Amino acid sequence: MTVVVGTAGHIDHGKTTLLRALTGIDADRLPEERRRGMTIEVGYAHLTLADGDVLDFVDVPGHDRLVGNMLVGAGEIDAVLLVVAADDGPRAQTLEHLELLDALGLVQAVVAVTKADLVPAERVAAVVDQVRTLVDRTTLAGAPILSVSATTGAGLDDLRAALAELRDRARRDGAGAPGPARLAVDRVFAVKGRGTVVTGTLRGGPLERNAPLRLEPGGSGVRPRELQVRGIAVQRGGPGGRLAANLAGVDRAAVGRGTTLTADPAVVATDRLLVALRPSLRLDATRPTVRAPLAGGTVVRLHLGTAQAAGVIRRGSRDVDGLPGGEFTTILRLEVPVAAAPGDRFVLRRPSPAQPLAGGRILDPRPPTGVAWRHASGADVEALAMATSPAERAAARLALHGALPLHDPDVAALPPGAAVRAGGIVLVPALAAAAVADVRAAVAAAADDGVPLAELRVRAGRVLRRGASLAPQVANDAAGTLLDSAVAAGELARTGELVHRRDRAVGPAPAVLAAMDRLERALEMPAPPGLLAAAHAAACPPEGVHALESAGRIVRVDHDLAWSAAAFADLQVTALRLAADRPLTPAALRDATGTSRKYVTALLEDLGRQGILTRTPAGHVPGPRAPRAGTSGDGIH
Ligand SMILES: Nc1nc2c(ncn2[C@@H]2O[C@H](COP(=O)(O)OP(=O)(O)OP(=O)(O)O)[C@@H](O)[C@H]2O)c(=O)[nH]1
Ligand SMILES: [Mg+2]
């Protein structure tokens, strides 16, 4: 796994010169950089160590106006080479870079006090002391400090040895820990005849040629046609280290600095993030102290990986202040989406006058919205901010969201019992229980009658949507699964489409049963009255009508037309007998049954739908499902 070291330090303090002395590579490759003798863009070099291992370097500019470019370089490094000129001592960008590295949470560093050839040894020692004090106030505390000269070569062997140790410490810290490959693009260019080429530092596992990847933001699919490590074509690059990828079929304009190339489902494009912020350290006494926490409405510039975006702090009632280390949580809204994943570190700067504001980490790149966010509590946010293991984090994020889709990367990390699976989602158990409790209450309120399944599904779906931001269909599907399991677990009972209490046999009340009998009798004639009027006359409620229908005691052919099953069977026998002789016309059926056009039309349509009769120009004839004379057990002859 290749460790990537980024330079840092004030302008002209000798970063690029030191890298050239170490590696023989001039990271200042642009003509303008060479002419002006200063770094403008991020540059690259690499060093083969005594043990044969290779270190990659990212060289950054020290100019105060180019701190944005410094952060592009610092956004994806494992360790730091801080350079301070012995003649000049620590200066404004020495301090600012240290503040930014601290904000990014970088830990492993080596400090080179360079240009030692220009000053007496006492001056070098004094600068080393000054630097020691500064560095030890940051996350880089304890970093070794060496005095060197790029011009004379003094101290370079010791520096190489210190860099080898730096590499070992970075690896022990988990630099390049295994995980999905992710490359934040820091440079894009078009190569004639080859198409678009991007470069960046690889995080996570290795990247294979032709592996299917996504570009975020945007989500477009891409396969790297060619990979290069330090100018040499490879089948696979990394893990870790600098990588160039030739992207087949991608327009140069579709990729920019900050675009991320990955197959990691945890990386998403987002313009609204839940973050934990820590006010930036202030090493420069002339700079105003950042008040913690940052006020709502504060305009910021986000530097995340190689991406930058304008944003604004949105404070709300779910924000948590006073977390360990002075952290506080907030929502960050961006002007444009960036590619982000949970745990990513970033820096916020004040746009004007430009200065560090805060370091941060992403708690949730897509926090809940709408009702689910209003229902989320500060405690949920705090649990997420304090989570230390993937399982804790996943459980805290589920609690915050109420529900997560099955394909969410956190679902696999959930500890057993932390979630209930329902339909295409997992639910926090309390929310699943609330939905089932609501259903149980509705069923209990309906006493003996039971409640239609469809109604309960929508009802429980509504409960789920109060606790999680879910599409209605997703919520109803999940509610359906919860209902099924409540029935399977014996908490509720189900008869047909009715859900009812387990301790009651479902069925209409005695009064309704009597009304049903009356209605059935009222419909037992070839030309019965309208169904609704008949039900009203019989005092039969709608559920009684449904019960008659589902029990097959009445045959309902239309909204307002039904026969008793017996009357309908008689009519069917008559129709079939006539149709067997000759094509049956509505008039013939009307005369044979003594009814009217209304009844025979409905009857013929219904028998046609069932395939018992088939309509021909001459009239209806027996259809494919007609019971054959003599073989039918229905008594048709
Ligand atoms: N005498 C002496 N001069 C040095 C040494 N290192 C660098 N210099 C000189 O210092 C000047 C600045 O060096 P650079 O390497 O360009 O400085 P830098 O830190 O990369 O500057 P930026 O990229 O603009 O931030 C150049 O003129 C170098 O020749 C050294 O060890 N001894
Ligand atoms: Mg330089």
User: Alpha carbon of 618 to those of 27, 138, 583: distances in Å?
Assistant: 93, 97, 6
- For residue 447, the model assigns a pLDDT of 67
pLDDT at residue 121, rounded to an integer: 97
Closest ligand 1 atom number to CA of residue 9: 19
pLDDT at 550 over 80: no
Spell out which residues line ligand 1, taking CB within 6 angstroms. Answer: 9, 11-17, 37-39, 61-63, 114-115, 117-118, 149-151
Q: How many whole angstroms from 399 Cα to the centroid of ligand 2? A: 48
Percent of the chain with pLDDT over 90: 73
pLDDT band at residue 631 under the 50/70/90 scheme: very low
pLDDT of residue 546: 84
Per-residue tokens: 225: 């046609």
Q: How far is the CA of 575 from the centre of ligand 2 (A)?
A: 99
- Assign 362 a pLDDT band (cuts: 50, 70, 90): very high
State yes or no: pLDDT of 633 exceeds 50: no
Q: Which two tokens stand for residue 445?
A: 């309120």
Report yes or no: 380 and 400 within 8 Å, Cβ to Cβ: yes
State pLDDT tens for residues 576-609: 999 999 999 999 999 999 999 999 999 999 999 8
- CA–centroid distance, 31 to ligand 2, in Å, is 13
φ and ψ of 100, to 5 deg: -70, -40
Which ligand approaches the C-alpha of residue 97 most closely?
Answer: 1
Q: In 175-206, which positions are buried (b, 16+ CB within 10 angstroms) versus exposed (e)?
A: bbeeebbbbbbbebeeeeeebbbbbbbbbbbb
The closest alpha carbon to 203, from 334, 103, 384, 341, belongs to 341
Contact 16, 28 (CB under 8 A): yes
Give whole-number Cα distances, 408 to 76, 92, 268, 274, in Å.
25, 44, 11, 17
Q: What is the DSSP string of 254-296?
A: G--TT-EEE--TT-EEEEEEEEEEEEPP---TTSPPPPSSPPT
Ligand closest to the CA atom of residue 153: 1
Residue 100 in this model has a pLDDT that exceeds 90: yes
Phi, psi dihedral angles at 279 (to 5 degrees): -55, 140
Q: Evaluate if residue 363 carries a pLDDT over 80.
A: yes
| Contact residues for 627 (Cβ-Cβ < 8 A; gap 6+) | 576, 612, 634, 636
How many other CB atoms are found less than 10 A from the CB of residue 507? 15
**Residue with CA at minimum distance from ligand 1 atom 23:** 39
Tell me what pLDDT residue 616 has. 92
> Measured in angstroms, how far is the CA atom of residue 44 from the centroid of ligand 2?
11
Give strand pairing partners of 575.
none
Q: Would you state the pLDDT for residue 419?
A: 94
Q: Per-residue confidence at 528, pLDDT binned at 50, 70, 90?
A: very high
Alpha carbon nearest to ligand 1 atom 30, residue: 115
Cross-strand pairs, 275:
330, 362
pLDDT at residue 634 above 60? no
* pLDDT (tens digit per residue) in 264-310: 999 999 999 999 999 999 998 887 777 778 899 999 999 999 999 99
**pLDDT tens-digit profile of 468-522?**
989 999 999 999 999 999 888 888 888 778 888 776 655 667 778 889 999 999 9
Look at residue 101 and tell me whether its pLDDT is greater than 80: yes
In this prediction, residues 110-115 reach a mean pLDDT of 98
Q: What is the structure's pLDDT at 630?
A: 42
pLDDT, averaged across the chain: 91
Pick 117 or 195 by higher pLDDT: 117
pLDDT at res. 504: 60
C-alpha distances (whole Å) from 6 to each of 22, 78, 108, 172, 352 are 14, 8, 11, 18, 26
pLDDT at 632 over 60: no
Q: Strand pairing of 4-8 and 79-85?
A: parallel
Question: Which of 7, 12, 82 has most ligand 1 atoms within 8 Å of CB, for mutation?
Answer: 12
Work out which ligand 1 atom sits closest to the CA atom of 38.
Answer: 24
Atom of ligand 1 nearest to the CA of 20: 15
Least confident of 279-283, 377-381, 422-426, 447-451: 447-451
What share of the chain has pLDDT > 70, as a percent? 97
pLDDT at 635 over 70: no
Q: What is the mean pLDDT of residues 148-176?
A: 94
C-alpha 259 to ligand 2 mean position (Å)? 25
- Residue type, position 42, single letter: V
CA distance 247 to 210: 9
- Measured by CA distance, the residue closest to atom 9 of ligand 1 is 14
Q: How many CB atoms lie within 10 A of CB 490?
A: 8
Closest ligand to 36 CA?
1
Q: How far is the CA of 468 from the centre of ligand 2 (A)?
A: 51
Tell me: pLDDT of 247 over 80.
yes
Q: Say yes or no to pLDDT of 560 above 70.
A: yes
- Bridge partners (DSSP) listed for residue 510: none
- 342 alpha carbon – ligand 2 mean position (Å): 33
- Closest residue by Cα to residue 231 from 25, 394, 421: 25
Confidence at residue 636, expressed as pLDDT on a 0 to 100 scale: 33
Average pLDDT over residues 456-460: 93
Range of 59-63, 565-569, 614-618 with top mean pLDDT: 59-63
Among 345-349, 407-411, 445-449, 536-540, name the most confident range: 345-349
The protein residue with its alpha carbon nearest to ligand 1, atom 24, reads: 38
Q: Which residues surround ligand 2, an ion (CB under 5 A)?
A: 15-16, 39
Site to substitute for ligand 1 among 17, 19, 87, most atoms within 8 A of C-beta: 17
